[in-house]
Structure 1
Amino acid sequence: MTTLPWLHPDRVARLEAALRERILILDGGMGTMLQGHGLDEAAFRGDRFAGGHDTAHAHDHPGACDLKGNNDLLTLTQPDIIRGVHTAYLEAGADLVETNTFNSTRISQADYHLEHLAYELNRAGAALAREACDAMTAKTPDKPRFVIGVLGPTSRTASLSPDVNDPGFRNVTFEELAANYTESARGLIDGGADVIMVETIFDTLNAKAALFALSELFRELGGRLPVMISGTITDRSGRTLSGQTAEAFYYSVQHARPLSVGLNCALGAADLRPHIQTLARVADGYVSTHPNAGLPNAFGEYDETPEQMATVIGGFAKDGLLNLVGGCCGTTPAHIRAIANAVRDCKPRTLPDLEEQAA
């Protein structure tokens, strides 16, 4: 087996050691921070895509659609902004930052006619996060920082029909999803990710395609990275969009031997608590959560303050439910700083003794 330049067992060992010692802090919302910059179409395009399809870079963007809103593209056109977001979260206390690759699959980028950039977006996204983490680790060698390579859910669902008049119809296959995830994961690995996270899972079949893709890619490469899995309870029904409870979701993905399983997005921390309690009871690995800053208001904005969110999550930690915690939509470095302070003196959730349970 050849030596793999991206495989860093020392970093994995330090991550696992840190998880045994304390509750680790994830970063907060990337989109929330980017919205604060008020970027226009020209900023999203940058120099590379300036002028749209009438430029010398027509091969990069053959379509005439707007690119504003494609936050993942900012990895290529505004790398200083993305690096700055990572650094802001690291300075707020994050141990792990997530790559700006939530929509960096061919399926999702096809909405902007940029599907050919999928690998590049993932590799560059991981490289930017790697730079930020390495720079912060150099300042605090006793507190290493880690890169989570993000695989988002894509804009399609393998379990449900997008046509209410044709319940049997599917606009994506398992094989197509797996191919998308393989390409994206390869980019994340080549860019320097320490961990791969399959996140915001609303359809477990999509997640299974991602996990299958990772297992096949790891087999091809001759080594594996730790895998984190994070689902999303879509509303107060307590189920994912594809109909599973938190417990059913966990048992559906347990076979992948994840480093952690958790829940993120859709709900605020208070509404997520019973579902995190379920995971803390059944999971044989670490448990994570990065909830929204409450539920969105009438304007689609999030009102939960850092102090409010930290108080609720501090209760999670005091009750021994957590190993990793951060924020999703509506959260900022201020939220992450408050959460980090709230859980600092709390012991991490203890992993269950499976042999004892079996007896």
Structure 2
Amino acid sequence: MASLPTPPTSKTAHSSRADALREALASRVVVADGAMGTMLQAQDPSLEDFENLEGCNEILNITRPDIVRTVHEEYFAVGVDCVETNTFGANFAALAEYDIPERNFELSESGARIAREVADEFAAKDGRQRWVLGSMGPGTKLPTLGHAPYVTLRDAYQQNAEGMLAGGADALLVETTQDLLQTKSAIIGARRAMDVAGISVPLICSVTVETTGTMLLGSEIGAALTALEPLGIDMIGLNCATGPAEMSEHLRYLARHSRVPISAMPNAGLPVLGKNGAHYPLSASELADAQETFVREYGLSLV
């Protein structure tokens, strides 16, 4: 599905927002949103809403944009600076499992457009800039283990990023990465998309370090920094898998060695399994206290 024609001034406006985000990240702590999937599930979308592709949250960008809008609105209403697009699974690996890899651009563009519209509405109310982070998830294939060809993943990530830029994303967030080759495919795909669009936006990379102290395939945080920083990322950080306590050592390493700003988006502790399923044990105030400590000790720019 082709995107709508781009208004003549949109590229200038896009660049202006991206520059403002870079300035904010360099001068203060920028606050992003939290979970997307659980917020969508809480609204109990039907199987029809998913077009019988249950669990493919990105489909809701087309069938139930009202649900997706509500999530963004709830986060902006409590004061966040930026929201992530509902595009975590808009990649070759995830969409291929639903047999719809050809819908990558469509779902990416629509996810970014919904977030852009909500961000602009809130900015218009009070004059405070709001930003959209284009979420690029890891998918389910690990190229290092031969699950999928690197080139296939890279090209699909380029489509993903092109769609989000067309929809108005102010930054691209390569997140929850567990395989450095997959991470590289997403970063290079994002760079190629920016070249095609003629737009430069911040490129953020967030890796996932397990409770074992390494990424899923055994890479330590130092190896991740060494491999990813030369690719021209604007920020590096950690997200998912653990709570703040387990991230502290790795953030300390990044604070000492990274030449780019740092981010952290931890879970609210390690999940605890109860009779009603898993839940995260940290309260909002406990998570906030941990993030405040990170900001003070490690100089985080994005939380």
Give the TM-score, by structure 2 length: 0.91
Residue 229 of structure 2 is matched in structure 1 by: 254
Cα displacement string for residues 114-136 of structure 1 (whole angstroms, at most 9, x for unaligned residues): 22211100000000010011111
Change (3 A) 1:67 1:109: same
Is 1:308 the counterpart of 2:286? The answer is yes
Partner of 2:40: 34
The answer (yes or no) to whether the contact 2:93–2:139 under 8 Å persists in 1 is yes
Q: Which residue number in structure 1 is paired with residue 86 of structure 2?
A: 100
Are 1:19 and 2:30 an aligned pair?
A: no
Residues 258/206 of structure 1: CA separation in 2 closer, same or farther (3 Å cut)? same
* SS at structure 2 position matched to 1:319: helix
Q: Indicate if the aligned counterparts of 2:177 and 2:208 stay in contact, CA closer than 8 A.
A: yes
2:171 to 180, 188, 195: 195
**Residue 6 and residue 29 in structure 1: after superposition, are their counterparts in 2 closer, same or farther (change >3 A)?**
farther
Equivalent residue number for residue 117 of structure 1: 103
Is residue 207 of structure 1 aligned with residue 183 of structure 2? yes
Are 1:227 and 2:203 an aligned pair? yes
| 1:340 equivalent in structure 2 | none
Residue 196 of structure 1 aligns to a residue whose secondary structure is: strand
Partners of 2:245 and 2:122 in 1: CA distance: 32
Partners of 2:86 and 2:213 in 1: CA distance: 28
- The residue that corresponds to 1:156 in the other structure is 141
In structure 2, the gaps of 5 or more residues are: 1-7
Equivalent residue for 1:290? 265
The count of aligned residue pairs is: 293
**Equivalents in 2 of 1:130, 1:255: separation in Å?**
30
Check if 1:180 corresponds to 2:134: no
Which of 126, 129, 135 is matched with 2:115 structurally? 129
Q: Using the TM superposition, give the Cα deviation of residue 4 of structure 1 relative to its aligned residue in structure 2, in angstroms.
A: 7.5
Q: Rg larger in 1 or in 2?
A: 1
The more displaced of 307-316 and 216-225 is 216-225
Distance in 2 between residues matched to 1:104 and 1:9, nearest whole Å:
24
Q: Is the 8 A contact 2:92 2:153 kept in 1?
A: no
Q: Structure 1 residues 139, 4: CA separation in 2 closer, same or farther (over 3 Å shift)?
A: closer
Give 2:58's aligned residue: 72
Provide Cα deviations, 1:31-66, integer angstroms capped at 9, x if missing partner.
121121223313333xxxxxxxxxxxxxxxxxxxx4
The residue type paired with residue 135 of structure 2 is V
- C-alpha contact 2:157 2:186 (8 A) present in aligned 1: yes
State the Cα deviation string for residues 185-244 of structure 1 (Å, max 9, x = none). Answer: 11011111111111101011001111222233333344422200000002x221101211
- Contact 1:27 1:94 (8 Å CA) reproduced: yes
Q: 1:295, CA displacement in angstroms? A: 0.9
Contact 1:150 1:198 in 2 (8 A): yes
Q: Quote the Cα distance in structure 1 between the aligned partners of 2:123 and 2:230.
A: 33
- Residue by residue, what CA displacement relative to the aligned partner does 1:125-169 show, whole Å, maximum 9, x if unpaired? 00001001111111221x311111111111100112xxxxxxxxx
Provide the rounded CA distance (Å) in 1 between the counterparts of 2:31 and 2:296.
15
Answer whether contact 1:277 1:321 (CA < 8 A) is retained: no
Matched position secondary structure for 1:94: coil
Say which SS state the counterpart of residue 84 (structure 1) adopts.
helix
**CA-CA distance at 1:26 after TM superposition:** 0.8
Partners of 2:301 and 2:278 lie apart in 1 by 30
CA contact (8 A) 1:7 1:223 kept: no
- Deviation of residue 3 (structure 1)? 8.7
> Distance between the aligned counterparts of 1:74 and 1:293, measured in 2?
26
Change (3 A) 1:288 1:295: same
Separation in structure 1 between the aligned mates of residue 70 and residue 12 of structure 2, nearest angstrom: 24
2:76 paired residue among 83, 90, 100: 90
Task: Point out where structure 1 has 5 or more consecutive residues left out of the alignment.
Answer: 46-65, 161-169, 326-359
Residues 43-58 of structure 1 aligned to structure 2 (within 5 Å): 43-45=49-51
